[in-house]
Amino acid sequence: MKELNQYIRDYTGQEDDIFTSLRGVKVGELLPSGGPLDFFYDNIDNPSTTIFLKTKKKAKFFYADTDEFLSCIIDEDPHWVLDIDKNILRLNLVYDINGSTLPLVFIFDITKDNYRMALKLLSKKGIFDLYFLSILYGGFVLEKRMKLNIPKSILKTLKSIK
């Protein structure tokens, strides 16, 4: 069995506050620090970071990178690829940009409840709620929020996870 380490600070129980605060941020605005949105400041140190948060009813996924990189992918439709290696599931959103393949990889350890529950929420809703955050001078700007329909072939696999 492979071990997936969690590098994020535990925000269990604060997800609803984070989601509520996030609703107040408009596209193009800097995420305020000093409140629930400190989650992002505490847990995203580098470009190309994927992360997710979930409650009992919803899961939201985040991708943080430079505004230059995000401008290449933000309006493109990704291809979906699902990789499973023992207990590790990788949900890849693959973008084809100027002849290059650029994946956004969301990793789940299906032996851990937190990850498995996020996958169950995805399979139930069939929607991948994705937020793009650009890293700007030590802050984060909400660049775009999009709801992607998960392909039926991937949903079928996600629904098979117990």
Please name every residue paired with 64 in a beta bridge, in sequence order, or none if there are none.
49, 133
- Say if residue 58's pLDDT is above 80: yes
Backbone angles phi, psi at 89, to 5 degrees: -110, 130
In the predicted structure, residue 143 carries a pLDDT above the cut 90: yes
Contacts 24+ apart (CB under 8 A), 157-162: 157/82, 157/84, 158/119, 158/120, 158/122, 158/123, 159/123, 161/89, 161/110, 161/116, 161/119, 161/120, 161/123
Report if residue 65 sits inside a domain: yes
Question: Does some domain include residue 30?
Answer: yes
* Residue 6 belongs to a domain: no
Within-domain flag for 7: no
**Count of structural domains within the chain:** 1
Under 8 Å between Cβ of 98 and 105? no
Within a domain: 5: no
Q: What is the pLDDT of residue 7?
A: 44
10 domain residue, yes or no: no
Amino acid at 142: L
What sign for the dihedral angle of Cα 139, 56, 84, 126? negative
Inside any domain, residue 9 = no
pLDDT bin (cut points 50, 70, 90) of residue 152 is: very high
pLDDT tens for 90-135 read: 999 999 998 999 999 999 999 998 899 999 999 999 999 999 999 9
pTM given for the model: 0.91
pLDDT digits (tens, 9 = 90+) for 65-76: 999 999 999 999
61: containing domain: 15-159
Split at pLDDT 50, 70, 90, the class of 49 is very high
Tokens of 157: 């696999």
Residue 8 lies in a domain: no
* pLDDT computed for residue 8 by the predictor: 47
Q: Tens digits of per-residue pLDDT, 5-41?
A: 544 445 567 899 999 999 999 999 999 998 999 999 9
Residue 57 binned pLDDT confidence (cut-offs 50, 70, 90): very high
